């Protein structure tokens, strides 16, 4: 009896079980090429992630620790804008007393522009080359011709070679052309055949042209046009964010100037209150005053000190906000002393001119116009997709055959001796075209919606410009009123102090005069700062704040991989759109603090002696 063999099917089953059971470890990972089911959540600890350490900075200044030894940096408004531009890889915007990322970077337009080449790649030629070598050698049983009672195992070997070469391209009209060259070579051993080896080959030209759906230049290049429009939208989005950032720098700068003026006013109030308290205490010691006067002056001094603490804290907060939007660390850097004096002249407004500028230059309006252009391109695509499918096809093929006869003679067909050709029209029509026509309606409605959004934006712009006109008038009139009130408050303080020192008035009148004077000083500075800030807001709302400050964009480029059709050499491509440094448009005070432009003169001071 012959030796029993283990069935191959059983071996295959055992191998599969080994892969499924032994290949998996209990924690769900794998040793062999088998991916198990995900049966639990894998959440790494934060310590397992790559570190991103915060910069090592000293503690920031506070009202309890003002750090008077800190260095001082005299900073003009033009220099502040220039620093912000240098640190604007990620554009920051001011929200209240904090600056946050706008989510926009100078790299966004270049990132979006890569979609243009990705869409254009649809029309690049496509080259394919496949080679395959096969050998088939299967045994078979047959009777022994010398003795029919016996059998033997024999077989034949077949060697095949297949080559397929294809070159195809889609043109701007939607037509697809293709060139194919194929070769199939066969050698069979042993045996006698008419041709052995046998070599079959053919060359095929194929072209398909859509006549309705998918045909025409406009719907085929629409994705490229949309990609270009999206690149424009990305640029205007960046410009809009940078305009907001420039306006935020100006707002933070003038807020810091106003806060420093308020600190000076509160310091003067504290000094006046301290002098009054010292005088009342001295009068009480000499028996000339009473405890009620001391208590009253002490309360006034405490209130003045509390107001000073709030004003000093506000300066630190406003300075931190300015540093934040400039991209400067909150500590370990010099204290900022603004040197640009605020503008005090009234700027006349040309209503028709600012309307025209806003309609032409506001980035948000430009983006809405580009959205409508995109809608038109998508409508072209939808209308084309709603057409029936009607394609014209054409094919022409040259067939060839060559090989060796059993006598060794080589036979070969002549060129063009055996040919195939095909001409045809393919038509397809979903009954009703429900999906395509619904898509057309969707794009039509989208276009109507975006036009309505543009109209609403124009309406809103008019209201914003009107608000700026009202605010500019209000802040300037308030500045004039507070300036007059400050002068009146100074005179009132001097008169009330003189009356008090002469013993003809109570201290409550002096206290109220000191408080009124300090409040008018702070209010005058606040109103003028708001007026200067609103001028920048108006420039932003007309879309001209960058041009007003001489800020433009230049394309920064980098080297990257080029298409293979250019032999793979590295080429230069857009990397970012960086803003250029701004022009100097504000008067610089040199090293003179900006708050000194408010004529900060010490008012009449109470003497500490009785």
pLDDT tens for each residue of 535-567: 999 999 999 999 999 999 999 998 888 887 666
35 versus 247: the higher-pLDDT residue is 247
Percent of the chain with pLDDT over 90: 67
Percent of the chain with pLDDT over 70: 93
76 versus 68: the higher-pLDDT residue is 76
Question: Looking at residues 388-409, what average pLDDT do you find?
Answer: 92
Q: Is the pLDDT of residue 589 over 60?
A: yes
- By CB neighbour count within 10 A (0-12 exposed, 13-18 middle, 19+ buried), where does 37 fall? exposed
The Cα 196–Cα 187 span in angstroms is 6
Residues 119, 121, 124, 129, CA torsion sign: negative
Q: In degrees to the nearest 10, what's the CA dihedral of 73, 79, 85, 88?
A: 20
At 32 the three-state DSSP class reads coil
Question: Looking at residues 160-166, what average pLDDT do you find?
Answer: 95
Q: Which residues pair with 189 in a beta bridge?
A: 157
Residue 367 · residue 164 · CB < 8 Å: no
Confidence of residue 506 (pLDDT cuts 50, 70, 90): confident
Q: Is the pLDDT of residue 520 over 80?
A: yes
At 173 the three-state DSSP class reads coil
Domains in the chain with CATH codes: 100-117+221-374+443-598 (1.20.1600.10), 129-170+175-213+389-428 (no CATH)
The Cα 265–Cα 1 span in angstroms is 118
Q: Is the pLDDT of residue 266 over 80?
A: yes
What's the gap between Cα 167 and its chain centre?
Answer: 39
The Cα 422–Cα 395 span in angstroms is 5
Residue 550 · residue 585 · CB < 8 Å: yes
Q: Quick one: pLDDT at residue 276? A: 86
Place of tokens 């999906």: 435
Cβ count within 10 A of residue 523: 22
Q: Tell me: the pLDDT tens digits for 351-377?
A: 999 999 999 999 999 999 999 999 999
In residues, how long is the chain? 610
| 361-375, 476-490, 590-604, range with the lowest pLDDT | 590-604
Question: Looking at residues 104-129, what average pLDDT do you find?
Answer: 94
At 75 the three-state DSSP class reads strand
Q: Tell me: the pLDDT tens digits for 426-461?
A: 999 998 889 999 999 999 999 999 999 999 999 999
Q: What is the DSSP letter of 9?
A: H
Q: Quick one: pLDDT at residue 95? A: 92
The Cα 579–Cα 549 span in angstroms is 11
The Cα 109–Cα 576 span in angstroms is 7
Residue 268 · residue 602 · CB < 8 Å: yes
| Beta strand spans in 497-542 (E) | none
Confidence of residue 140 (pLDDT cuts 50, 70, 90): confident
Q: Tell me: the pLDDT tens digits for 15-53?
A: 666 655 555 555 445 555 566 778 889 899 998 999 888
- By CB neighbour count within 10 A (0-12 exposed, 13-18 middle, 19+ buried), where does 529 fall? buried
Nearest to 243 by CA among 586, 594, 588, 582: 582
Place of tokens 């994705």: 223
Q: Tell me: the pLDDT tens digits for 201-245?
A: 999 999 999 999 999 999 999 999 999 999 999 999 999 999 999
The Cα 316–Cα 61 span in angstroms is 8
The Cα 522–Cα 510 span in angstroms is 19
What is the b/e burial string over 269-294, where b = at least 16 CB atoms within 10 angstroms of the residue's CB? bbbbbbbbbbbbbbbbeeeebeeebb
Both ends of the chain: CA-CA distance in Å?
Answer: 138
Both structure tokens of 544: 């001209």
The Cα 291–Cα 538 span in angstroms is 56
Measured between alpha carbons, how far is residue 296 from residues 80, 124, 529 in Å?
A: 45, 88, 35
Binning the chain into helix, strand and coil, the percentages to the nearest 5 are: 50, 25, 30
Measured between alpha carbons, how far is residue 479 from residues 188, 338, 482 in Å?
A: 104, 20, 5
Residue 539 · residue 276 · CB < 8 Å: no
Residue 321 · residue 311 · CB < 8 Å: no
Q: Is 147 left (phi over 0), alpha (psi -120 to 50) or beta?
A: beta
Among 8-17, 153-162, 305-314, the range of highest mean pLDDT: 305-314
Q: Tell me if the bond preceding 197 is cis, omega within 30° of 0.
A: yes
What's the gap between Cα 595 and its chain centre?
Answer: 37
- Long-range contact set of residues 227-231: C-beta below 8 Å, sequence gap at least 24: 227/112, 227/113, 227/115, 227/116, 227/118, 227/119, 228/116, 229/370, 229/373, 229/374, 229/377, 230/112, 230/115, 230/374, 231/109, 231/112, 231/113, 231/115, 231/116
Measured between alpha carbons, how far is residue 155 from residues 4, 133, 136, 143, 549 in Å?
A: 25, 20, 10, 13, 89
Q: To 10 degrees, what angle do helices 507-541 and 291-326 make? A: 10
- By CB neighbour count within 10 A (0-12 exposed, 13-18 middle, 19+ buried), where does 52 fall? exposed
What's the gap between Cα 337 and its chain centre?
Answer: 33
Place of tokens 């049983």: 141
Q: Round the average pLDDT of the chain to a whole number and report it.
A: 90
Q: Is the pLDDT of residue 2 over 50?
A: no
Q: Quick one: pLDDT at residue 19? A: 56
Relative to beta strand 570-579, strand 90-95 is unpaired
């Amino acid at each position: 009896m012959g030796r029993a063999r283990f069935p191959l099917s059983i071996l295959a089953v055992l191998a599969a079980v080994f892969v499924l059971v032994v290949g998996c470890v209990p924690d769900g990972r794998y040793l062999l090429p088998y991916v198990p089911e995900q049966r639990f959540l894998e959440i790494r600890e934060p310590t397992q992630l790559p570190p991103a350490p915060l910069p090592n900075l000293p503690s920031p200044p506070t009202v309890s620790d003002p750090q008077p030894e800190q260095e001082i940096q005299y900073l003009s408004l033009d220099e502040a804008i220039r620093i912000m531009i240098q640190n604007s890889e990620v554009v920051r915007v001011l929200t209240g007393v904090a600056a946050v990322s706008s989510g926009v970077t100078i790299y966004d337009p270049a990132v979006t522009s890569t979609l243009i080449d990705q869409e254009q790649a649809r029309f690049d030629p496509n080259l394919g080359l496949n080679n395959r070598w096969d050998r088939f050698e299967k045994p078979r049983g047959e009777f022994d011709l010398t003795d029919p009672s016996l059998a033997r195992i024999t077989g034949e070997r077949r060697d095949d070679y297949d080559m397929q070469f294809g070159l195809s391209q889609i043109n701007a009209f939607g037509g697809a052309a293709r060139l194919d060259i194929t070769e199939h070579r066969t050698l069979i051993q042993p045996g006698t055949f008419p041709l052995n080896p046998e070599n079959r080959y053919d060359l095929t030209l194929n072209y398909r042209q859509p006549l309705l759906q998918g045909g025409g230049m406009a719907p085929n290049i629409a994705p490229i046009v949309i990609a270009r429009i999206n690149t424009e939208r990305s640029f205007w989005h960046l410009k809009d964010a940078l305009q907001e950032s420039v306006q935020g720098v100006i707002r933070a700068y003038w807020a810091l100037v106003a806060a420093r003026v308020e600190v000076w006013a509160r310091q003067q109030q504290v000094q006046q209150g301290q002098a009054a308290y010292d005088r009342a205490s001295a009068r009480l010691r000499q028996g000339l005053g009473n405890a009620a006067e001391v208590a009253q002056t002490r309360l006034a001094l405490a209130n003045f000190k509390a107001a000073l603490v709030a004003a000093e804290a506000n300066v630190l907060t406003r300075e931190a906000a300015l540093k934040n939007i400039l991209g400067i660390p909150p500590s370990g850097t010099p204290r900022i002393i603004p040197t640009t004096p605020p503008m005090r002249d009234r700027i006349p407004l040309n209503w028709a001119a600012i309307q025209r500028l806003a309609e032409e230059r506001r980035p948000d309006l430009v983006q809405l116009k580009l959205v409508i252009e995109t809608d038109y391109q998508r409508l072209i695509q939808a209308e084309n997709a709603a057409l029936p499918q009607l394609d014209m096809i054409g094919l022409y093929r040259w067939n060839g055959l060559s090989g060796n006869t059993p006598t060794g003679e080589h036979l070969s067909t002549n060129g063009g001796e055996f040919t195939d050709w095909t001409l045809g029209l393919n038509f397809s029509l979903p009954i009703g075209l429900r999906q395509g026509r619904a898509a057309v309606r969707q794009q039509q409605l989208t276009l109507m919606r975006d036009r309505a959004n543009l109209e609403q934006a124009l309406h809103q712009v008019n209201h914003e410009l009107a608000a700026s006109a009202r605010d500019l008038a209000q802040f300037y009139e308030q500045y004039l009123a507070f300036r007059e009130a400050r002068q009146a408050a100074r005179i009132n303080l001097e008169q009330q102090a003189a009356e008090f020192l002469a013993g003809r008035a109570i201290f409550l009148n002096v206290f109220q005069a000191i408080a009124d004077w300090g409040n008018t000083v702070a209010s005058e500075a606040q109103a003028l700062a708001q007026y200067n800030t609103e001028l920048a807001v108006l420039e932003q709302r007309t879309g001209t704040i960058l041009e007003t400050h001489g800020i433009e964009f230049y394309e920064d480029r980098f080297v990257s991989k080029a298409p293979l059709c250019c032999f793979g050499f590295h080429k230069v491509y857009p990397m970012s759109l960086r803003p250029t440094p701004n022009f100097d448009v504000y008067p610089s005070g040199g090293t003179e603090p900006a708050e000194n432009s408010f004529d900060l003169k010490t008012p009449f001071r109470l003497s500490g002696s009785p």
